[in-house]
Amino acid sequence: MGYLAYSFYLGLFVIVIAGSLYFTRPYWSPLLTRVPYLYTRLPQSFQHDIEAGLSSSAFDLSANVEAGDSRQGLDERAKSEVQAIMKRRGVGFDEARRLYMEDRFKKNGIGADGRPRDPKFVSFS
């Protein structure tokens, strides 16, 4: 029978503490910003992409940095694949980006000229 009373008082104690923390959060939450975090993810931006060598005269990211673009930079998966092509084939950024896009076009049934490779495709131009 004692475990029921213990469980009741413990539950009541937790509810009171949680409620008091919830209602007093404007007072103690600013103090949490001073606590150093053990791990924080580095913010990715176009500046990081430029430093990683993912920019050229044909694909210039410096305009994004100068304009204060707040986006997170280039797509992570595409960046890693382009960097892998650069390392594996020993080519520059522009050539690796071209090879990456041709591979994506091929996987999606699009020819190198940009037209669909579907045999039922009809174009009126």
pLDDT digits (tens, 9 = 90+) for 33-61: 666 666 555 557 777 778 888 888 888 87
Residue 50 falls inside a structural domain:
yes
Is residue 116 classed as helix, strand or coil in its secondary structure? strand
pLDDT digits (tens, 9 = 90+) for 64-109: 778 877 777 778 888 889 999 999 999 998 999 999 999 999 898 8
Q: Is there a single domain that holds both residue 25 and residue 68?
A: no
**pLDDT at position 90:** 92
If one counts the domains in the chain, the total is 2
Task: Read off the pLDDT band of 121 (50, 70, 90).
Answer: confident
Task: Please spell the DSSP secondary structure of 50-118, one letter per residue.
Answer: HHTT---SSS--HHHHHTT--S--S-HHHHHHHHHHHHHHT--HHHHHHHHHHHHHHHTTB-TTS-B--
Q: Which domain holds residue 16?
A: 2-30
* Residue 35 DSSP code: S
Span 103-121, average pLDDT: 84
Residue 118 falls inside a structural domain:
no
Threshold 0.95, pTM exceeds: no
